[in-house]
Amino acid sequence: MFRVTRRYEFAASHRLHSEQLSEDENRRLYGKCNNPYGHGHNYVIEVSVRGPSDEATGRAVDTALLDGLVKREVVQPFDHHNLNKEIAAFGDVVATSENLGIEICRRLKRNWKEVFPGEWPKLEKIRIGETARNIFEVGADEIE
């Protein structure tokens, strides 16, 4: 069994702000990330899949197919967009990197069988580098 991880990048802006909290609570909790005008990141996304090596190809995943799926479902919709204002999933959810990981995972899982109809490969995890110090990871089996 092999794990294959591919890295992708996109730039996007967001504002950390919860409608369930007061303005003071939002400022206290999110600090400078609560700026009303938002702020941006150059996100680094790692998509890990696992599967056995195919006898005919010697590969665990067709990386061109994976790249196409990630480009269509993640990079193109998010790159150079405001997550809060332009991505419907964040209309009522705080645009944290944790929630971004959940959304990316949902998008990939929703379209996975269209691209990979067999038993393998399986989506294993999403890892998001928001900054050099802030890295978030979510297992695909943890997300519906």
Q: Which residues are catalytic?
A: 33, 80, 130
Instruction: Give CA 123 to chain center in angstroms.
Output: 12
CA atoms within 13 A on the CB side of 68: 10
Residues 6+ apart with CB under 8 A from 72: 111
Q: Whole-angstrom Cα distance, residue 119 to residue 116?
A: 8
Angle between helix 97-115 and helix 63-70 axes, rounded to 10 deg: 130
Residue that the structure tokens 């928001």 belong to? 130
